[in-house]
Amino acid sequence: MEQNVFIIGATGKVGRRLISQIFEKEDTSSLRHSHPTTILGLASSTEYLYSGEGIDEKNAILFSKKRIDGKRYSGIEDILKVLRRSSKSISVIDVTASADMLELHRGIIDGTKHKVVTANKAPLAVCDFDTFQTLTSKTQRYGFRCSVMAGAEAVDKLRDLCDLGDTPVRIEGSFSGTLGFITTELQKGKRFSYAVREAARLGYTEPNPASDLDGSDVARKILILSRTAGFRVNLEDVKITPFVPKGYLLESDPEKFLKSMERLDEGFRKRMESALKRGKTLRYVACADASGDQLRIKAGLESVDLMSPLGQLLGTANKIVIITKTYGKGYYSVEAPGAGIDITAQNIRRDLLYQLEERQVAQPEKK
């Protein structure tokens, strides 16, 4: 029996890579897989392609590159209508960055037999806690591993610990490859403005690096992880201290923004120098702490011991550190290379594997 997928965001960077991986890695092969993947649907923000028999490789790639047109659609309800009409079970993959997708996720989970796999963290951050729990409690039907740390084991680890009764009481981590890269460059003695410019040149930042330095993306990640650990929190509970003073973040022109970072070089140099003298370094740390009377959740630049789990983290790597109640003194940690398009696409395919009811081992690849 095949595993049917409908990819929303098929024309984006992750969507395009996912489609090419599905074909290159022979996920569609019935010789290799007991549940070969069939792409039934693809959508951009305005158009979709759907075939009950499956979309072939040529058309899937052409659609993802916007070289063929699909049918125009005007909103989530149109996609839901297509899904409701399908007699087949479909895993709908959300690789957009749109918060509007919450309506799609809820529509699928509440009103259809279909499933969701999402790399889009926006719906899980904007929804209320109860909706988060309703969606994510359907472990077989709702895959959200790729919404944080590009699908590394963070979500699984937290969920397993909760189910085992070894409740997390503190979660901390560095969840931004971009900000990890910048702090590592500062540690090496590079100027702050150079480090930001270099991160942009290497493609680690959003088109305007201000979007990385405002801390909002990290805030959404710690929120999702905290909620996964069972902490009843909302986005407004996260105290965010942006990497740079807020005034700088208002600049919408990327080049002017990068130029303005030079004014911060001396301040960051002194801050890093002072940290290093004390055996510490700077990291952009997100933390949710439920060990006291009140849950505290925040994200900001902090000095951490050089030998600590986050102090040892280098470059674009991400790490989560989890402290639980039962086995007090130690900690669990999960480290992963910084998110990239390839690893995200691969881990979306991995989330699809988890949705198979009777998964069987794939046959070896043809030589």
Strand partners, 142: 116
- Return the range that interacts with ligand NAP (CB under 6 A); candidates 26-34, 41-49, 325-333, 351-359: 41-49
Asked if 180 touches ligand NAP (CB under 6 A), the answer is no
* Closer Cβ to ligand NAP, 230 or 254, answer by number: 254
Residue with tokens 């999402």, as numbered in its chain: 118
Q: Which two tokens stand for residue 347?
A: 């881990």
- SS3 for the chain is CCEEEEEECCCCHHHHHHHHHHHHCCCCCCCCCCCCEEEEEEECCCEEEECCCCCCHHHHHHHHCCCCCCEECCCHHHHHHHHHHCCCCEEEEECCCCCCHHHHHHHHHHHCCCEEEECCCHHHHHCCHHHHHHHHCCCCCEECHHHCHHHCCHHHHHHHHHHCCCCEEEEEEECCHHHHHHHHHHHCCCCHHHHHHHHHHCCCCCCCCHHHHCCHHHHHHHHHHHHHCCCCCCHHHCEECCCCCHHHHHCCCHHHHHHHHHHHHHHHHHHHHHHHHCCEEEEEEEEEECCCCCCEEEEEEEEEECCCCCCCCCCCCEEEEEEECCCCCCCEEEEECCCCHHHHHHHHHHHHHHCCCCCCCCCCCCC
Answer for which of 4, 6, 14, 242 binds ligand NAP (CB under 6 A) is 14
* Closer Cβ to ligand NAP, 150 or 213, answer by number: 150
Closest C-alpha among 168, 128, 124 to residue 148: 124
Asked if 178 touches ligand NAP (CB under 6 A), the answer is no
Chain residues 313-352 in contact with ligand NAP, contact rule CB under 6 A: 339-341, 344
Asked if 108 touches ligand NAP (CB under 6 A), the answer is no
Answer for which of 24, 71, 84, 97 binds ligand NAP (CB under 6 A) is 97
Asked if 70 touches ligand NAP (CB under 6 A), the answer is no
Asked if 219 touches ligand NAP (CB under 6 A), the answer is no
Per-residue contact string for residues 149-168; x = within reach of ligand NAP by CB under 6 A = -x------------------
Asked if 241 touches ligand NAP (CB under 6 A), the answer is no
Catalytic residues: 221
Answer for which of 6, 12, 63, 243 binds ligand NAP (CB under 6 A) is 12
- Return the range that interacts with ligand NAP (CB under 6 A); candidates 38-46, 53-61, 189-197, 205-213: 38-46
Q: Beta 168-174 vs 280-289: how paired, if at all?
A: antiparallel
- Return the range that interacts with ligand NAP (CB under 6 A); candidates 43-51, 179-187, 250-258, 355-363: 43-51
Q: Which two tokens stand for residue 44?
A: 């951009």
Asked if 8 touches ligand NAP (CB under 6 A), the answer is yes
| Residues that contact ligand NAP, how many (by CB under 6 A) | 24
Answer for which of 30, 45, 51, 274 binds ligand NAP (CB under 6 A) is 45
Residue 208 φ then ψ, to 5°: -105, 110
* Closer Cβ to ligand NAP, 148 or 290, answer by number: 148
Answer for which of 3, 4, 11, 183 binds ligand NAP (CB under 6 A) is 11
Answer for which of 22, 102, 119, 171 binds ligand NAP (CB under 6 A) is 119
* Closer Cβ to ligand NAP, 9 or 41, answer by number: 9
Asked if 195 touches ligand NAP (CB under 6 A), the answer is no
Least spacing, CB of residue 42 vs ligand NAP, in Å: 9
| Residues at the contact surface with ligand NAP, assessed by CB under 6 A | 8-15, 43-46, 95-98, 100, 119-120, 150, 339-341, 344
